[in-house]
Structure 1
Amino acid sequence: MTKVVALMSMSLDGYVADLEDGVDEVFDWYFAGDVDVPTTKPDFTFHVSAASAEHLRALMGEVGAMLTGRRTSDRASAWGGQHPFGVPAFVVTHEVPEEWSDSDSTVHFVTDGLESAVAQAKAAAGDKIVGMHGADTIRECLDTGLLDEIRIDLVPLLLGSGIRLFDRLENAPVTLGNPTVVEGVGVTHLSYPVIPR
């Protein structure tokens, strides 16, 4: 069965972005090392520690499709029509951006709800995982029982305010299994299975 897996960088106090949707501080670890991890975009290469490089390479091999909310997609300018992992991306939204042209794009805007977006992403992923970005979309998947795993890149930073990943969960408590842990430089990679209710 194809798993849906949340993939987010987060500060120690639970924030994934600042109040203006800025992510520089929580993404610093992607560019703080001396090991290059290229993506499918020639101008987008990660520079991380050896442990984080091994973690990222394994992750990119696992992901068959990405799923995200509209805010994250807008912030990333829909990745220019191609997600850096080289997989199809599905964006949950109420309407397709007016300026959007889907020619030669692997980014798909889904306007008929989260469950449809999850189903489309799973079909595209095949036997690989669906990676998920976006705090609101992740919370909604948790609340509806559609999320199988949470992977957090925990950054040693206290932002103090901003957008929290786990605010306003409607069906808390959510029980998680024991984590796997990879220690990087400037980041700890944590992976928790979500225990079904």
Structure 2
Amino acid sequence: MKVIVLYASRYGSTKEIAEFIAETFRRQGVAADARSVGAAPRLDDYDAVVIGSAVYMGHWMGDAVEFVRQNRAALADRPVWLFSSGPLQLGQEVTSTEDPGLEPKEIGEFREAIHPRDHRVFFGALDPAKLGFSHRLIRKLPAGRDLLPEGDFRNWDDIEAWTGGILRALAVPAES
């Protein structure tokens, strides 16, 4: 069994999630690689695929969307799981990462095209020192720090549990 965990990450948080997922696979004896969608190898070399993207303004990053669209046939022929990373906190309108309102706009299209086994939203992380110019400007606005709070909001236990579900679906025995 060989799995590829692909990601699109602007500031590194999504990349770290993908690397954690790949390492969790490896601890269970599954050959797994984590790579950027821009440096993705041939999918024919893998039995299963996990793809994650940072989410901005309700959308996956463009290179991740383009990767899925360009590799639609290969992805539809193997088990695929999707994850999104982005919300930093929940608000009055959204009280759970399972809220359909957090689902990026492209996920419906992907469900029809490649039939992923699951899509999960994970909290992200924000380090102001890594922000690009436009995001630094947003944080200077009066409400910007509330919109983009500093901190690491990722729930590693939740990510590990989700990865365990993938391992079970692939019929990989649990580590004893």
Structure 2 length-normalised TM: 0.33
Normalised by the length of structure 1, the TM-score is: 0.30
Higher relative contact order (CA 8 A, sep 6+): 1
